Structure 1
Amino acid sequence: MIRLLFLFMLFTSTLSAQDTLRIGVAHFPPYTFQDDGGHWNGMAVELWRHVAGEARMIYQMMPYSKDDSLLAALEREEVDLVLAMPISARAEAQVDFTQAFHRSALALALPPTNSLWSVVTGLFTLQFLYIVIGLSALLLIVGSLVYFLERRSNDDQFGGERSLWQGIGSGFWWAGVTMTTIGYGDKAPTSLPGRAVAMLWMLVALAVTSSLTAAIISATNASNVIEFPRELKQKSVGVVKDSPAAEFLQSRKQTFTPFQDVQEGLLALDRDEIEVLVHDATALHHQSRVNPNLRAYVQETDARPEAYAFAVRENSPLYEPINQAVIAITTTSAWRTVVDSYDDGSRSAKSSQ
């Protein structure tokens, strides 16, 4: 309570010459955006309302179009504070940033699911063929070993009148059935060496089955995960115009298609006009969630990390009290709940389905 009173006193003394703060804001979801009624919402807006509410501040939202520079507006003293500005060394030379209230990085938006046809065609690739050949060779080795151990003591199931290849075939069948845990029970080793091999194979088969599942998913393209940024060279890529993603890809000489906003890029992804949309992870998660018809699988990366904060003019008397309020609010569990409501994928890449 004492801390809030202190902040209030700082704010009121700061605002003695000006009763209404001018807050610069632009369309930048999920940090700042307008709803259908024209009201401003978003992660940064909610934080500001908490800050202003604690100090009972009077303020006015000053909207700017996407092409306008909020940084320039702040320098021209058209606004007193800017919401949701990405922290950069260049901007820091011109303004003062408060404590960052959110951090993000680049991510990839990929088609959420693959069609049945794409999975079927994945079965006819060299990668899947290599899996089949490798697994068959392993089953053949185990089956042959069991056959040679069992052919004399287990005539009914492995030996007897069977030829060499028929016996090995019986062992191959047993190894496959055992690995898949189907357990028909039509064949089973009876000798001590045969049972020892069978027990060892059961344990090994657990690891083989797990690895096989992942390998088949990868081979059939059932997973959308790609190696970033190397595999982008083989993809048709989209980015939002003049975004950090565009700058990052330009520095790597990656060709891409620019879009006006995230929604337009996700729409192009949905129409198969591009294969990957590269943008801020938080924005992709948010847009994928609020646009049911533009769902996407979001694969996060560590590339081009960004931190977002409020910005005021250099040496502004507003800096200290606002910064203290931001720190006080963003270190609470309540703020974590606010962040999760806008960035529900902030800790792991996941598919919105």
Structure 2
Amino acid sequence: MLRSYLLAGLFFPLFLSAQPEVLRVGVADAPPYCIDDGEGNWYGMAVQLWQLVAEREQLRYEVVDFSHPDSLLPHLTAGDLDVVLFSTLDPGAERRVDFLQAYHHSSLGVALPKTNGLWTTLRGLFTLQFLYIVVGLSVLLLIVGVVVYLLERNRNDDQFGGERSTWQGIGSGFWWAGVTMTTIGYGDKAPRSLAGRAVAMLWMLVALAVTSSLTAAIIAATQATQPLKFPEGLRSRAVGVVDESPAENYLASEGLDFQVFDSPRAGLEAMQEKQLDAFVSDVTTLRYVIDEYDGISAAIEATDAEPEAYAFAVRQGSPLREPLDEAVIQITLTKLWREIKNTYDATRKVPRSAPRRR
């Protein structure tokens, strides 16, 4: 009997240690990585990756939510959490926690109000680029017009020669070249000589390519906007950032003034209401929020400032690091993970499968 009790006492702790531990997983609202639907349910790029990892490793866990992402790592180092789903790779924090393989890379982006399309087009008509297009096209039409005039002036008096002066004849050739290129074809002038008709046929074929290139060049010239010089171009503007974010730290280090907001959505809505001239945040986050919510419209300019890598984090020396890191690496190399990233990363231009939020 005593031997039975001794054996039971020996193996009971081993039995307890074999039971699956309930991990405490920390999250905070940080779209598109961790998103709270307002009813206690979480989704997003990082959340879905964790669900795949937990399923693969057969882990039991409970989600512990916090009001701000900056609260996650302090609670992890204090022992209140076992895993953090949203954290940026930080050399300083590496001394206190262990980061896993990064699951996403991004950088800062600038959201700017969309300009009026008509005004942008009209303004583009007075740019140097558009002037170059007009001058180049005029020179090309003049060359074709001169050639046609020289070939037709003695054989087509009523349309290109006759009593016309040289400049009037060249003008007739210029007019014919323009009408032919645009495929309008008034029919008031047409080459009659064999050489003139050969040049006309060649010009018709060349004009097809010229017209296509011209259309693209005009659109580019009339809709072109000057790229923002970041961060210098923000010094004279009302700029917003998320409180305690990498964008705030970066703009503060550059000596720029800014307003702080609780979330990217709040800042973008303020810009929509003309309270801001620009809003700076993670470029992936900006594109996701603009793509996800109705009533928010902005032009996004990506920058190479403050490159960020996002990863899970565990306590330093945690036995979870190796198995979780291996699982993250294997999952992020799969087609399924690419599809998940496509769902949340609006830069990839995938078709929407759900209605936009209001």
| TM-score category (smaller protein) | 0.7 to 0.9
- Taking structure 2 as the reference length, the TM-score comes to 0.79
Verify: 1:159 aligned to 2:161, yes or no: yes
Comparing 103-112 and 306-315, the one that deviates more: 103-112
- Which residue identity is paired with 1:322? L
Verify: 1:180 aligned to 2:182, yes or no: yes
1:243-254 → structure 2 map (5 Å cutoff):
243-250=245-252
Comparing 153-162 and 72-81, the one that deviates more: 153-162
The 3-state SS of whatever aligns with 2:347 is coil
Comparing 156-165 and 23-32, the one that deviates more: 156-165
Q: Where do 5+ consecutive residues of structure 1 fail to align?
A: 1-11
Q: Where do 5+ consecutive residues of structure 2 fail to align?
A: 1-13, 351-355
- Which residue identity is paired with 1:90? G
- Measured after TM superposition, the shift of residue 191 of structure 1 is 4.1
Structure 2 CA distance, aligned partners of 1:154 and 1:230? 64
- Taking structure 1 as the reference length, the TM-score comes to 0.80
Q: 1:302 to 1:151 in 2, by over 3 A?
A: farther
- Measured after TM superposition, the shift of residue 223 of structure 1 is 4.7
Counterpart residue number, 1:73: 75
Give the counterpart of 1:334 among 310, 333, 336.
Answer: 336
- Measured after TM superposition, the shift of residue 143 of structure 1 is 2.2
Counterpart residue number, 2:268: 266
1:207-286 → structure 2 map (5 Å cutoff):
207-220=209-222, 222-223=223-224, 226=227, 229=230, 232=233, 236=237, 237-250=239-252, 256-286=258-288
Structure 1 CA distance, aligned partners of 2:337 and 2:168? 69
Contact kept in structure 2, 1:19 and 1:58, CA below 8 Å: yes
User: How big is each residue's C-alpha offset from its partner over 1:123-155, in whole Å with a ceiling of 9 and x where there is no partner?
Assistant: 345554454344334433432333233222222
User: How big is each residue's C-alpha offset from its partner over 1:54-103, in whole Å with a ceiling of 9 and x where there is no partner?
Assistant: 33322222222227432222111121111121113222233211112222
Structure 1 CA distance, aligned partners of 2:96 and 2:16? 21
Contact kept in structure 2, 1:101 and 1:308, CA below 8 Å: yes
Q: 1:234 to 1:204 in 2, by over 3 A?
A: farther
Contact kept in structure 1, 2:241 and 2:248, CA below 8 Å: yes
- Which residue identity is paired with 2:106? S
Q: 1:151 to 1:61 in 2, by over 3 A?
A: same
1:77-116 → structure 2 map (5 Å cutoff):
77-112=79-114, 114-116=116-118
Identical counterparts, % of pairs: 54
- Measured after TM superposition, the shift of residue 337 of structure 1 is 1.6
- Which residue identity is paired with 2:233? L
- Which residue identity is paired with 2:178? G
Contact kept in structure 2, 1:238 and 1:256, CA below 8 Å: yes
- Which residue identity is paired with 2:218? I
Number of equivalences: 337
Structure 2 CA distance, aligned partners of 1:110 and 1:73? 36
Comparing 201-210 and 280-289, the one that deviates more: 201-210
Q: 1:304 to 1:142 in 2, by over 3 A?
A: farther
- Measured after TM superposition, the shift of residue 306 of structure 1 is 2.1
RMSD between superposed Cα atoms in Å? 3.4
- Which residue identity is paired with 1:266? L
1:19-98 → structure 2 map (5 Å cutoff):
19-66=21-68, 68-98=70-100
Q: 1:250 to 1:143 in 2, by over 3 A?
A: farther
- Which residue identity is paired with 1:120? L
Higher Cα Rg: structure 1 or 2? 2
Q: 1:249 to 1:130 in 2, by over 3 A?
A: farther
Counterpart residue number, 2:295: 293
